[in-house]
Amino acid sequence: MMLFLSMYPAWHLNTQWHVQGRLDYLKAYFAGYIQREKKMGGKNVSKWSEIGQYVTKKIQCIQETEDYAALAKLRRGMGHQPGEVPELYGILLENMPEVFWNNQGEVTEEEWSCYVALTLFAWHQQGNDLIKECVHTEQKYESIGKTMKKLSYALNREDKDPDAEKRMQRKLQMLMTSKDMPELFYHLKSMVTLIRKEKIAINYSELAQDIYLFQFQDTRPQVSLKWAQDFYRINKEEEDNEDK
């Protein structure tokens, strides 16, 4: 699998991707993750799942209580790293699994994933009603790749912006080649700023899980490939619908 990925760089979106079956796709996506966890003694096998559950529950809590104050606080975390804004400690750390923490006070991959996803959700939700217009969707396979393709369609309504798809490709490429978490955060914020203007929802639990795996060298290619496949998969889905 890794040899295949090295031959076909995940960021090269100008190449026509071969869309795998969903089962093969999931196997490829998790293969590197499982291998890495085995090397670590299996201590963190459940973290990927726990990250998704934590983000889902946190968003549900904010939505059910219509806690716009929490959203305002989370937005203050934009552009900062975890730990730099003390007023967010309560919102983020409450009910967060302690296995996500580092006893030395260093930011962990798990904390980065949750922090970025939740602050982006708050940024995305701004100006929208939490009940009627929640920007988080629990629909599966709504990755940032698929969302960016939807955005290109929205921008090109009635052929008003024929270059939209190419621009979204470039943004996705820049995201995939991020060298560190602050850079990844920066590109994601840029994307979400465009997405929120078009009222497009994102599965923020899935995004948090993707961000988690993106932070490891051996699983980053799978995440990039997933985003690329999802960007192009929507073409095939539309063609199939037209044939029916």
pLDDT tens for 165-219 read 999 999 999 999 999 999 999 999 999 999 999 989 999 999 999 999 999 999 9
Threshold 0.85, pTM exceeds: no
Q: What is the rounded CA–CA span in Å between residue 54 and residue 208?
A: 10
Model confidence over 88-137: pLDDT tens digits? 999 999 999 999 998 888 999 999 999 999 999 999 999 999 999 999 99
Q: Which are the contacts of 101, defined by CB distance < 8 A and separation ≥ 6?
A: 108, 111
Q: What structural domains and CATH numbers belong to the chain?
A: 44-243 (1.10.520.40)
Mean residue pLDDT across the chain: 83
Are residues 199 and 112 in contact, defined by beta-carbon separation less than 8 angstroms? Answer: no
- Which of 113, 143, 124 lies closest to 232, judged by CA? 143
